[in-house]
Amino acid sequence: MSRVWQWNRPVTVREVLEDLQRERSIAYTTVMTVMDNLHQKGWVRREVDGRAYRYTAVSTRAAYAAALMNEAWSKSDNPAAALVAFFGMMSPTQRDALEDAVRMVSADRPEVVPEAAPETAPEATREAAPEVPPEVPPEVPGEVPSEGADREHPAGR
């Protein structure tokens, strides 16, 4: 998939093979089998081009990554805590990208009233912002209270 996403155009098994062979020895049939498996799983679509197929990604790498994150998040029994833990793992650059993404999504949804953007806050205020949202109790970092928060979470200890 990396090659298909990288080129962002329909590719043949031969093109993928030749590209992969720059790094390691690999058989044509191996690449053909993988491309066919990707097609069977719905990750790529294919069209006949002479005696070969041209494969095209069904979604972007970003959409695939987003789907993976959504799937993992939706499997959590405490999605808010999962998000806080995830955000805690982010680098400052990733957090900046997240803030930009939230602003873009908020701008697309007029019914959502976004909080003041960081650009409008004084520099000192931005630097003093806490790492964990204020609604998270300081004695339990990484967990967000939710309905039934008085119950102990078996995976949280």
pLDDT in tens, 47-85: 999 999 999 999 999 999 998 888 888 899 998 998 899
Summary mean pLDDT of the chain: 77
Please identify which residue in the block is written with the tokens 């209270």.
145
Identify whether the C-beta of residue 84 lies closer than 8 Å to the C-beta of residue 138.
no
Percent pLDDT > 90 in the chain is: 50
Q: Predicted confidence band at 34 (pLDDT cuts at 50, 70, 90)?
A: very high
Give kind and range of the element (H or E) at residue 6. helix 2-7
Going by C-beta distance under 8 Å and a sequence separation of 6 or more, which residues neighbour residue 3? 11, 15, 16, 19, 20
**pLDDT exceeds 80 at position 32:** yes
**What's the predicted TM-score (pTM) here?**
0.54
Please identify which residue in the block is written with the tokens 């999504």.
105
The secondary structure of 55-114, three-state, reads EEECCCHHHHHHHHHHHHHHCCCCHHHHHHHHHHHCCHHHHHHHHHHHHHHHHHCCCCCC
Identify whether the C-beta of residue 3 lies closer than 8 Å to the C-beta of residue 13.
no
